[in-house]
Structure 1
Amino acid sequence: MYRFFITGLFVFLFIGPEIVFAQTLADKVQEYKLDNGATVLLVERHTSPTVAAYISFRVGGANETSQERGVAHLLEHMLFKGTKTLGTKNYAAEKKLLQKIKNTGQRIDALKFRTETDSEQLQQLQEELTALQAEHRKLVVKNEFSRIYGENGGVGYNAFTGKDSTTYLINLPANKLELWAAIESDRLQNAVFREFYTERDVVHEERRRSYESSPRGMMYETLLAAAYEVHPYRNPIIGWNSDIETLDPDQIREFFDKYYTPVNMVITLVGDFQSETTLQMIERYFGRLKPGVPVPPVVDREPEQKGERRVAINFDAEQQLMIAYHKPTMPQREDYVFDLLMQVLSEGRTSRLYRSLVVDKQLVTDVNVFGAPGSRYDNLMVLSLTPRNGRSPKEVEAAVYTELERLKSEPLSSRDLDIARKQIMTSILRGLRGNSGLARMLSSYQTLGDWRYLVDYEDHLSSITPKDIMDVAKRYLQADNRTVVTLMREGQS
């Protein structure tokens, strides 16, 4: 499977009543830079009276230090809690309560991690915090952002935090674009981190559901921690349990004030608007924000892996297998090769692994190959497989390696490569028919470096030869470069 959002495209479709035509992104994307450093990407699409609005920041889980793992994800939760004017009945009164809640919560955190803790004092403080939170709830207007957007036709109001970036998005009627600008600029200027300790508990529960109680989540987390020894890609975006327990409101505020600022921000709008007047509106609302400081690059570099790493997990669930190989990231030429290689291996019922492992040998019920966990720094090709009942991970693993060896010794035909290219481009085009798909693509690649990476993508993909596939397979698909994680019930083999 090629990269999560897409691996490139130089055209997108405009569909009118009787005409379909393609036009280059280079001609249609208008890029601007505000005086405070914010990047703005505008694409006019007058096919429906709607706009997809994305705001992305070049900061994610990989940019956290060991003292603040999980901050970006928890901050995503907190930024839905409102501002000084939205989400409150009386901010002046609320502000005093929030300070008391923070003081009490910080005292609890300081006590609960001591080797010798006064349990009675801790219990008293927890009761005090509960009472303060109950009093605070009387001043809170829940889900105010969602209510306003919903009443004005907004849909898909959401956010996601990744290893490399964080994004906030909404799709709304074109005549409500100024409402979006007012709300989002207010959120960046006047965010209030309400219900911090309650939301921290919510994240704890999210971690339990998504990782500790989920076999696939646990496997993926274990795989990254084993494959990476140094680079922060090894850490879960949500943080480890010990990280979540110690996150502090002041940490959240400091991280937000430092990095969720114009110099790290990409605003992407795709839809029914006039660029000139829209840019003026963006400058009016977002141009007053202070620039902030650029997110520093990750200086940790993962050393070359010198031997296979294996981890076995005992879990009361059906058997699972994951295999990962280190690989280069964009825009290195080998990354384009991996896009095609992964397509050939696992996309569709005619792919090599599906035909061999699912249909012919009936070893697995499903197989998936994807790039992970981020794209700014060198990453992994991950193979995920579910063995059939009665089949062992060992059998499946051996069959996978047989197919990977074929890539090294048998050149793909030109026809197979052409099919893979067409499959990639068709899938991408299908995803870009809506405004949101294009906005997401542009936003993603601009935060990773430059959206213009997409302009030449198809040319790069077309230049890949069967020999390139063989060379990359020989270099990277080696035992010394792989990490293997198996999950099975205790006593299985």
Structure 2
Amino acid sequence: MINYLKLTACSLLLGFTTFAQEVEFTEYDLDNGLHVILHQDNSAPVVTTSVMYHVGGKDREEGRTGFAHFFEHLLFEGTENIPNGKWFEIVSSNGGSNNANTTNDRTYYYEIFPSNNLELGLWMESERMLHPIIKQKGVDTQNEVVKEERRLRYDNSPYGGLLPAVFSNLFEKHPYKDPNIGYMKDLDAATLDEFNAYFDKYYVPNNAVLVVAGDIQLEDTKKMIKDYFGPIPSGKEIERSFPKEEPITEQKNATAYDPNIQIPATVTAYRTPEFTNRDSYVLNLISSYLTDGNSSKLYKKLVDEQKQALQVGAFNLEQEDYGMYLVYALPVGETSLDTLNSEIEEEVAKLRNELISEKDFQKLQNKAENNYVNSNSSMAGIANSLARNYLLYNDTGLINDEIEIYRNITREDIKRVANKYLKPNQRLILEYLPENKEDKAEAETK
């Protein structure tokens, strides 16, 4: 029976390995600096067209936050050849779907079409890059949209202000200290000329990557890309120089208030390395070890066995310049936040002082394999991975090689990384509390 179980486990692992087939791609540059990546897969009549721009929430001046997120909305307004408000109608009426998202480091636009509408997708993205209409009416319209989004996601949403409170206390100088969505007063104060200047600086072909993935013919696709994107003029080279943060050498304590909650939360946060650093991959495994699933260490301890927490979670927020490692918990009943902090530190201390078991380590490796396979299980996922790996990691081939990074991580690496980044004197402890005007006023006077 034991040999049978071993054989079954081995077969499952081999199944993961063989299923994660290599993603073939072709990449090249246009004369204007636009990087192009093509992935051909003719197994289904679907194609994803996408453009990722190297511009995010951190690309701003003081007093002008939120521009990148604002443009995520604004660039759906219309172009010289796409009437105002017709973008989504054109996509849906041709059997497609589309979306966009912005982080602190990049902005990503994409369409998913039946493959016979590949040219439509390319034309629309070239229109967005070459012919957007940036006028006061559109700016005013999208300003209201962003304000409503902020109200829904942050101001009026339970725990909506938790991450911004962490950011503002974990960073003092770097733009990561401010929320990606920005501050409404900054957008209200911005002029139309400032918005146009922002577009001219960042939304240029030499600051972007175009990915086409799916049911395509390479030579036909290359010709269409040259026709639609080749005439777009390149922009000036972008120089970035963000202020550096001093290392955290003593525990920081902070308090934030939320009128939308009744149950407080505690967050332990650490400043960690950029996502291209191998240690960032190790931190992903540590997150999985602590809180991924009912058998994870912190979940089993705080939620299942000791019944001290309603929720507990750990995650590595990977970013281009600095990462952030966060562990949060919501207490049960009369459990104090100090108690939760002590219990969390006890488990993190074990990571610093002991090697995790071989059994737990193999579970982490299996989860990493599974996550890797799932991330590239669709054309949209493959397109996203190709764009991100080129633009932010400067290595398109990571789509095939990244799993080897995880496979080469050892138990000793986990202990080393925990010792390097997750020590008490390097952390922020944030108490996130229901808003009480008297308590808040007292805290603000200290």
Match of 1:79 in 2: 75
Secondary structure in 2 aligned to 1:461?
A: helix
In the TM superposition, 1:127-142 aligns within 5 A as 141=84
Secondary structure in 1 aligned to 2:21?
A: strand
Contact 1:59 1:295 (8 Å CA) reproduced: no
Contact 1:259 1:294 (8 Å CA) reproduced: no
Equivalent of 1:153, from 87, 91, 95? 95
Secondary structure in 2 aligned to 1:43?
A: strand
Match of 1:231 in 2: 174
Secondary structure in 2 aligned to 1:158?
A: strand
Secondary structure in 1 aligned to 2:431?
A: strand
Q: Does 1:300 align with 2:223?
A: no
Distance in 1 of aligned mates of 2:300 and 2:395: 37
Match of 2:335 in 1: 391
Match of 1:113 in 2: none
Match of 1:405 in 2: 349
Is the alpha carbon distance of 1:204 and 1:427 closer, same or farther for their aligned partners in structure 2, counting shifts above 3 Å? Answer: same
In the TM superposition, 1:199-348 aligns within 5 A as 199-316=142-259, 317=261, 318-348=263-293
Instruction: Report deviation, 1:456.
Output: 3.0
Contact 2:78 2:132 (8 Å CA) reproduced: yes
Match of 1:136 in 2: none
Write the letter of the residue equivalent to 1:314.
Y
Match of 2:57 in 1: 61
The alignment's TM-score, normalised by the length of structure 2, stands at 0.89
Secondary structure in 2 aligned to 1:159?
A: strand
Count of matched residue positions in the alignment of Structure 1 and Structure 2:
420
Instruction: Report deviation, 1:215.
Output: 3.6
Equivalent of 1:370, from 294, 307, 315? 315
Distance in 2 of aligned mates of 1:226 and 1:12: 45
Contact 1:189 1:289 (8 Å CA) reproduced: yes
The alignment-based identity, stated in percent, is 29
Q: Does 1:470 align with 2:415?
A: yes
Secondary structure in 2 aligned to 1:63?
A: coil
The alignment's TM-score, normalised by the length of structure 1, stands at 0.81
Tell me: higher relative CO, structure 1 or 2? Use CA pairs within 8 A at least 6 residues apart: 1
Equivalent of 1:166, from 107, 113, 125? 107
In the TM superposition, 1:410-429 aligns within 5 A as 410-429=354-373
Write the letter of the residue equivalent to 2:86.
E
Write the letter of the residue equivalent to 1:171.
I
Is the alpha carbon distance of 1:199 and 1:460 closer, same or farther for their aligned partners in structure 2, counting shifts above 3 Å? Answer: closer
Equivalent of 1:483, from 425, 428, 446? 428
Write the letter of the residue equivalent to 2:50.
Y
Distance in 1 of aligned mates of 2:421 and 2:375: 30
Write the letter of the residue equivalent to 1:206.
E
Runs of 4+ displaced beyond 6 Å: 11-14
Q: Does 1:457 align with 2:402?
A: yes
Distance in 2 of aligned mates of 1:209 and 1:151: 29
Write the letter of the residue equivalent to 1:177.
L
Equivalent of 1:358, from 286, 303, 308? 303
Is the alpha carbon distance of 1:436 and 1:237 closer, same or farther for their aligned partners in structure 2, counting shifts above 3 Å? Answer: same
**Structure 2: which 5+ runs fail to align?**
1-13, 441-446
Q: Does 1:431 align with 2:431?
A: no
Distance in 2 of aligned mates of 1:183 and 1:277: 17
Is the alpha carbon distance of 1:492 and 1:235 closer, same or farther for their aligned partners in structure 2, counting shifts above 3 Å? Answer: closer
Which segment is superposed worse, 439-448 or 457-466? Answer: 457-466
Match of 1:37 in 2: 33
Match of 1:181 in 2: 122
Secondary structure in 2 aligned to 1:244?
A: helix
**Structure 1: which 5+ runs fail to align?**
1-10, 15-19, 88-140
Q: Does 1:47 align with 2:37?
A: no
Instruction: Report deviation, 1:51.
Output: 0.6
Is the alpha carbon distance of 1:384 and 1:419 closer, same or farther for their aligned partners in structure 2, counting shifts above 3 Å? Answer: same
- Cα RMSD for the two superposed structures: 2.2
